[in-house]
Amino acid sequence: MISHLGPQLGVADGIALGNLLKKNKKVTAVFSGDGGSSEGDFHESLNVAAVWQLPVIFIIENNGYGLSTPSNEQFRMKQFIDKGIGYGMEAVQIDGNNILETYSTIRKLAESIRENPRPVLLECLTFRMRGHEEASGTKYVPQHLFEEWGKKDPVNNFENFLLKEKVLDEAYISMDIVEMQFADFVTCGFNQIINNLAKTHYRWGQNVDVVVRMPTGAGVNAGPFHSQSNEAWFVHTPGLKVVYPAFPSDAKGLIISSIEDPNPVMFFEHKGLYRSITEEVSDEYYTTEIGKARLVREGNQVSIISYGLGVHWAIEYLNEHPEISADLIDLRTLLPWDKSAVLDSVKKTGRAIILHEDTITGGIGGEIAAEIAEHAFEFLDAPLIRSASLDSPVPMNLELEWNFLPKRDSENNSRRF
């Protein structure tokens, strides 16, 4: 899709031509509204596709209006598939609000076109239940059309079908546990998370019962595309909650709390903790409060604030240096994070180290440091320390990877206690 409409149809022709020449039996699908079909690019693209027999499905979403112009003021034919006749092109009309019909038709067309390359014009009858964009409104649309098409809502109708066929039940519909596998790949769904999930409740008061599981982190020699710590992207986004457990018992309690929470939750799970950290976990149903930190160890010389694998690095270091008396705070939740627990600890110890695996620039450590500096500055006996990964992609080489991670800073930080 290209915002200017029309032009994407010519791009589809080019892709289809490349596939045809390579004889790889691929089909190109391209979308346009009925309004876009009035542009010159539409006619040129369909004509070329027909002459060269390009394997393209031209999918036209016919909602009856080109922005605010009704179809009868755009073209004279009674149905859109009539356009196919002029190009000598096969044309098919379907109920675009029927998910099963749409899926079945496109699958059959694609299978056929792979074996017999040719263009097909597919008209999907549908309707816009809102304006073309934010400014236009819907005053130009007769009210009875909303009533008629409201009964054809594809999401509601498909949901009712799945319930009737006993594919789903009401309990299953009420929740949604999504796994990115891996957190690095979340960029492919970034818009849906940042602009859809995070803002839905703000826009119209609808709950978003979605938990996105995010296997994350380095230290497993998986390279730069399977090792990133990207939790800070979502901590910056109002409307989301961000959870990051370090222990099995917390993982169970927090995942249940996340499922019960009506807000969208990004649930980070460090891959390095899978099958490496063990703990007795109750078989009973229980929840762990989102937004509440855990005091893993108690001391009076320094506060170590961390989460995820960083908590275990801190435990390991403190075990090796029993002379250090430290409060070790496992945040468990990054949005919202437990400011009271952190400030109370820093006011007691007078020193703070913020440890996280994420790169130092733009990491949540900077936010925590700013909060401490703003609200507990007079209690500090030493500068705040941020211990984090280098500002670099995660190295592929294992030795370089461990040099990249903040565990390398342990000896330096100990001198500051």
b/e burial code for range 192-214 (CB count within 10 A of at least 16 → b) = ebbeebbbbeeeeeeebbbbbbb
Query: What DSSP state is assigned to residue 394?
Result: P
Helical axes 364-375 vs 339-349, angle rounded to 10°: 60
The helix or strand, by DSSP H or E, that contains position 10, with its residue range, turns out to be: helix 7-22
Extract the tokens encoding 275. 């099958």
Alpha carbon of 352 to those of 294, 387, 389: distances in Å? 16, 11, 18
Extract the tokens encoding 327. 């409060």
b/e burial code for range 336-357 (CB count within 10 A of at least 16 → b) = ebbeebbbbbbeebebbbbbbb
Closest CA to 309 of 231, 383, 366, 254: 231
The contacts of residue 22 (CB under 8 Å, 6+ apart) are none
Marked catalytic residue, from 132, 226, 321, 356 = 226
Place of tokens 């930190």: 293
Closest CA to 354 of 336, 335, 324, 334: 334
Query: Does residue 401 sit in helix, strand or coil?
Result: helix
> Is beta strand 69-70 parallel, antiparallel or unpaired with respect to 65-66?
antiparallel
Burial status of residue 237 (CB atoms within 10 A of its CB: 0-12, 13-18, 19 or more): middle
Q: How would you write 40-56 as a 3-class SS string?
A: HHHHHHHHHHHHHCCCE
Distance between CA atoms of residues 393 and 387, nearest Å: 17
Extract the tokens encoding 17. 């031509």
226 is catalytic: yes
The full DSSP string for 268-320 is EEEGGGTTT------SS-----TT--EEEE--SSEEEEE-THHHHHHHHHHHH
Q: Which amino acids are annotated catalytic? A: 226
